[in-house]
Amino acid sequence: MALIKWRGREWDPFRELLDLEKEFQRFFDTSLELLPERVSKEGIWSPSLDVAEDKENIIIKADLPGVKQQDINISITGDILTLQGERKREEEVKDKSYHRIERFYGVFKRSFTLPPYADTTKVKATYKDGVLEIVIPKTEESKPKQIKVEVK
């Protein structure tokens, strides 16, 4: 039997909580490939997107490869912008045998709370090459104004 020298460290419940938090973080950072087949391939997916802001607009770009324009729905209710749609599975050919399926299919829905300075009456959306771009202008009151300082 091997003896291990006691280092004088007492049990620390806060360290245990931090370890538990790290495990939860690792779990939620895990790829969807590790989920069961029925969950990861049909019905659950979320498009990647970027949200940016400049002096004039709020810009949202979403990657929606393989999604047809008629399968995309954008709506605004109050200050909530909702992007939803569906990527449909291609017709399966009976002569093929798949070795690996990694693309996701099914419905998606993403919602964003817009800031109070977003002008929701003038929203424009374009869809080109599988990328959806939503441009939300800012209200005139929120745009920066230049004030000239007089020197006396």
CATH of the domain at 111: 2.60.40.790
Question: Is 76 within a domain?
Answer: yes
Question: Is 120 within a domain?
Answer: yes
Domain that holds residue 120: 45-89+104-142
Question: Is 25 within a domain?
Answer: no
Question: Is 3 within a domain?
Answer: no
Question: Is 5 within a domain?
Answer: no
Please, what are the averages of pLDDT over each run of 10 residues along the chain (152 residues)? 63 79 75 47 73 93 92 93 88 73 83 91 94 93 75 84
In the chain, what percentage of residues exceed pLDDT 70? 78
To the question of pTM greater than 0.75 for the whole model, the response is no
Tokens of 18: 């931090």
- C-alpha distances out from residue 38 to 42, 43, 99, 100, 126, Å: 6, 9, 16, 14, 33
Q: How many domains does the chain have?
A: 1
Question: Is 99 within a domain?
Answer: no
